[in-house]
Amino acid sequence: MTTEGAAAPLGPLSERVVEALGALGGRLEREPFEVRVVLPARVIVDAVRTARAAGFDLLSDVFAIDWLRYPGHQGPRFSVDYNLYSIEHGERLFLRVDVDEDEPVPSITGAWKAATFLEREVYDMFGLRFSGHPDLRKIHTPEDLEGHPLRKDFPLGETPTLFNDGRFLDPAAFRAGMIGASGGLTGWVGGARKGVVAEQVDPAPAAPRPGATRGDEGER
């Protein structure tokens, strides 16, 4: 996070809010294109309330960044960013809290309902827990997917996956199927497609149960 060149301008509203957040322990970071206040996690709800009362009336976004592979990064592994916008003043302000993996972040849903889905998304994608969130469930990924896909150590295309209906996706077999080295999941081996059923290398995977979808939300 270098700050080369000119820093983003600090509008009058942002200036006031940054000063107020300074009292909460906020540290101003000015990057070329964004104004950001880094805060301790425990004050984030107060900080959001302060900014909202001062005039930042739109919560655009809540998202996380996994700094695991960022060259030269020091400090906690994750950061959670809050993207605020003031409609009247046309200013944008980012709030950031740095957190470690097992450190819960106070949920701002009490201060701003718009964060409900966004915090669920962060929870789903990064596995960060939000304390006080009324409905912290996965939002995008299937119920039976283990792990949090947007973490930097989440392997791409290498996840053994066990589906609800008992089908098991083994990465090695899947890859072999993809490159035509074995029948894989589809039973197709390159060059033997037309009417010829290729020899199954793996035991035939159980056929998907018709109508089997995701976990039943009705039970929760």
Partner 1 sequence: MTVKPAGYQAVTLSEERTGDFETKLMRINVGPQHPSTHGVLRLVVDLDGERIARISPVIGYLHTGFEKTMEHRTYQQVVTYSNRMDYVHSFGHDLAYVLSAEQLMAARVPERAQRIRVILTELNRIASHLVFFGTGILDMGALTLFFYTMREREQLLDIFESVTGVRMNFGYFRVGGLYQDVPESFEHDVRAFIRSFPKMLDQYSALFAKNDIFVNRTTGVGVIPAERALEDGLTGPSLRASGVPLDFRKAQPYSGYEDYDFDVPVSTAGDAHARFEVRFQEMRESLKIVEQALDRLEPGPVRDPDRRISLPPRSELETSMEAVIFHFKLVTEGFHPPRGSAYVATESARGELGYYLVSDGGSMPYRVKVRVPSLVNLQSLESACVGGLFADMVVNIATMDPVMGDVDK
What is the DSSP-derived secondary structure letter of residue 171? Answer: H
Nearer of residues 73 and 167 to partner 1, judged by Cβ: 73
How far apart are CB 3 and partner 1 at their closest, in Å? 8
How far apart are CB 182 and partner 1 at their closest, in Å? 25
CA gap 79, 107 in Å, rounded: 14
Beta-bridge partners for 168: 162
Backbone angles phi, psi at 95, to 5 degrees: -110, 145
User: What is the chain's alpha carbon radius of gyration, rounded to the nearest angstrom?
Assistant: 23
How far apart are CB 65 and partner 1 at their closest, in Å? 5
Q: Do the Cβ atoms of 183 and 202 come closer than 8 Å?
A: yes
Q: What is the contact surface with partner 1 in residues (CB under 8 A)?
A: 1-4, 31-34, 57-61, 63, 65-66, 69-71, 81, 83, 85, 87, 90, 92, 112-118, 121, 125, 134-135, 138-142, 149-150, 154, 156, 214, 217-218
Nearer of residues 48 and 189 to partner 1, judged by Cβ: 48
Beta-bridge partners for 79: 65, 98
How far apart are CB 172 and partner 1 at their closest, in Å? 20
Nearer of residues 26 and 66 to partner 1, judged by Cβ: 66
Q: At what angle do helices 44-54 and 12-22 cross, to 10 degrees?
A: 150
The per-type count for the chain, helices as H runs and strands as E runs, is: 4, 9
How far apart are CB 53 and partner 1 at their closest, in Å? 13
Nearer of residues 156 and 179 to partner 1, judged by Cβ: 156
Q: Do the Cβ atoms of 138 and 144 come closer than 8 Å?
A: no
Nearer of residues 71 and 210 to partner 1, judged by Cβ: 71
